[in-house]
Amino acid sequence: MHPNLVRRVTGALAFAAMAFVASPPVEARITRIDLVTGPAFGDASFGTVGKFDRIVGRVYGELDPRLPANRAIQDLELAPRNARGQVEYAMDVYLLRPRDAARGNGALLFDMPNRGNKYAHFSFNVGTVPAVSTSDPGASLDGAGDGFLQARGYTVAWAGWQGDLLAAPNRLRFDAPLAQGAGGAVITGRVRSEFLVTARSATLNLSSGSFTGMTHASYPSVTLDTAGATLTRRRHETDAREPVDAADWRFADCLATAFPGTPDSGKICLRDGFDPDYLYELIYTARDPRVLGAGFAATRDLVSFLRHSLTDDYGNANPLANRIDTTLAYGLSQAGRFMRAYLHLGFNADESGRRVFDGMNPHIAPELIPLNVRFGQPGRAYGQHEDHDYPAAEGPFSWGREENARFGETDGLLERCKQTATCPKIVQTVSSIEYWQGRMSLNTASRNGLHDLALPDNVRLYHFAGTQHVPGGGQAINCRYPNNPNSYQEGQRALLVALHDWVAGRALPPPSRYPRVRAGSLVAPDAASVGWPAIPGVSFTGQINGLRRLHFGNRFDVDDESGVITVEPPRETGPAATLLVPRVDADGNEVDGVRSVSLLAPLATHTGWNLRKPGFGDGELCGLQGGYFPFATTAAERAANVDPRLSLVERYGDHAGYVHAVRLAAGQLQRQRLLLPEDAARLISQADASSVLR
> Is residue 372, in this structure, part of any structural domain at all?
no
Give 383-441 as a DSSP string: -SSSSTTSSSSSS---SSSEE-TTT--EE-TTHHHHHTT-PPEEEEEE-THHHHTS-GG
% of the chain surpassing 90 pLDDT: 88
Range of the domain at 346: 3-177+291-363
pLDDT at 138 over 90: no
Helix (H, G, I), strand (E, B) or coil at 488: coil
pLDDT tens-digit readout, 169-188 = 889 999 999 999 999 999 99
Q: What is the pLDDT of residues 378-429, one digit of tens each?
A: 999 999 999 999 998 888 999 998 765 455 567 899 999 999 999 999 999 9
Assigned domain for 643 exists: yes
Instruction: Count structural domains, the chain.
Output: 3
Q: Give pLDDT, residue 1.
A: 34
CA dist 392 and 148 (Å) reads 33
Residue 659 has a pLDDT of: 98
- The answer to whether residues 57 and 147 belong to one domain is yes
Residues 196 and 167 placed together within one structural domain of the fold: no
As a three-state string, the secondary structure of 549-594 is EEECCCCEECCCCEEECCCCCCEEEEEECCCCEECECCCCCECCCE
Backbone angles phi, psi at 188, to 5 degrees: -125, 165
Average pLDDT, integer, range 655-668:
98
Same-domain status, 447 and 501: yes
Q: What is the pLDDT of residue 402?
A: 75
In the chain, how long is the greatest CA-to-CA distance?
81
Q: Which residues of 507-538 are buried (b: 16+ CB within 10 A; e: fewer)?
A: eebbebbbbbbeeebbbbbeeeebebbebeeb
Give the residue from 329, 363, 397 where a domain finishes: 363
Asked whether residue 23 carries a pLDDT value surpassing 70, the answer given is no
Residues 6+ apart with CB under 8 A from 207: 164, 193, 216, 217, 218, 219, 377, 379
pLDDT band at 576 (very low <50, low <70, confident <90, very high): confident
Q: Are residues 503 and 587 in the same domain?
A: yes
pLDDT tens for each residue of 140-149: 446 799 999 9
Q: Is 576 among the domain residues?
A: no
Of the candidates 287, 304, 334, which is a domain's last residue?
Answer: 287
Give the range among 25-29, 43-47, 301-305, 649-653 with minimum mean pLDDT: 25-29
Q: Over 50: is that where the pLDDT of 631 sits?
A: yes
* 221/255 same-domain check: yes
Q: Is residue 58 part of a domain?
A: yes
Helix then strand count (H, E) for the chain reads: 14, 31
For residue 206, being part of any structural domain is answered with: yes
- Within a domain: 394: no
Alpha helix (H) ranges present in 197-257?
Answer: none
Residue 14 reports pLDDT greater than 80: no
Give pLDDT, residue 463. 98
Whether residues 59 and 47 share a domain: the answer is yes
Q: How confident is the model at residue 13 (pLDDT cuts 50, 70, 90)?
A: very low
Q: Is the dihedral of CA 270, 276, 281, 285 positive or negative?
A: positive
Helix/strand/coil percentages in the chain, nearest 5: 20, 25, 55
Q: What is the mean pLDDT of residues 330-339?
A: 97
Q: Which of 597, 593, 569, 571 is nearest to 583 (CA)?
A: 593
For the beta carbon of residue 82, count every other beta carbon within 10 angstroms.
10
Rounded Cα distance, 431 and 440, in Å: 9
Same-domain check for residues 159 and 283: no
Q: Tell me, what's the pLDDT at 304?
A: 97
Cα-based distances in Å from 323 to 153, 245, 278, 330, 635: 11, 61, 53, 19, 60
Q: Are residues 35 and 166 in the same domain?
A: yes
pLDDT at 411: 84
Segment 656-664 shows an average pLDDT of: 98
Provide the whole-model pTM. Answer: 0.93
Q: What does pLDDT average to over the chain?
A: 92
Same domain, 601 and 650: yes
Q: Which residues pair with 250 in a beta bridge?
A: 269
> Are residues 104 and 239 located together in one domain of the fold?
no
pLDDT tens column, 77-122: 999 999 999 999 999 999 999 999 999 999 999 999 999 999 999 9
483 occurs within a structural domain: yes
Both 171 and 204 in one domain: the answer is: no
What is the pLDDT, as a whole number, of residue 131? Answer: 65
Question: Would 391 be classed as within a structural domain?
Answer: no
Residues 59, 302 contacting (CB under 8 angstroms): yes
Q: How confident is the model over 537-566, as pLDDT tens digits?
A: 999 999 999 998 899 999 999 889 999 999
pLDDT over threshold 70, residue 4: no
- Report the pLDDT averaged over residues 155-178: 96
558 vs 348, which has greater pLDDT? 348
Domain identity same for 153 and 217: no
The pLDDT of residue 256: 92
Q: What is the pLDDT of residues 217-249, one digit of tens each?
A: 999 999 999 999 999 999 999 999 999 999 999
**pLDDT score for 369:** 96
